[in-house]
Amino acid sequence: MTLLRQAAGSVAPSIDWAWIGRHTDDMVARVIKHLIFTGIAVGLGFAISLALSLLIVRYRWTYGPITGVAGLLYTIPSLALFGLLIPITGLTVTTAEIALVSYTLLILIRNTVAGLDGVPAEVRDAALGMGFSPIQLLLKVDLPLALPVIVAGLRVATVTTIGLVTVTALIGMDNLGSFITDGLQRLFVTPLLVGAVLSIALAVAADLTLLGVERLIAPWTRATREAR
User: Which positions touch another protein (CB under 8 A)?
Assistant: 7, 10-11, 14, 71-72, 74-84, 86-87, 91, 103, 110-111, 114, 117-118, 120-121, 149, 156, 159-160, 162-164, 166-167, 169-171, 177, 180-181, 183-184, 187, 189, 192-193, 195-197, 199-200, 203-204, 207, 224, 226-228
- Indicate the residue among 2 and 224 with the shorter CB distance to another protein: 224
Task: Specify the amino acid at residue 92.
Answer: T
3-class SS of residue 109: helix
Widest pairwise Cα distance in the chain? 71
**Least Å from the CB of residue 133 to another protein:** 23
**Least Å from the CB of residue 62 to another protein:** 15
3-class SS of residue 50: helix
Crossing angle of helices 143-167 and 24-58, rounded to 10°: 140
**Least Å from the CB of residue 38 to another protein:** 11
Q: Name every residue whose Cβ is closer than 8 Å to that of residue 60 and which is 6 or more positions away in sequence.
A: none
- Indicate the residue among 174 and 207 with the shorter CB distance to another protein: 207
Which helix (H) or strand (E) is 204 found in, with range? helix 189-217
**Least Å from the CB of residue 128 to another protein:** 17
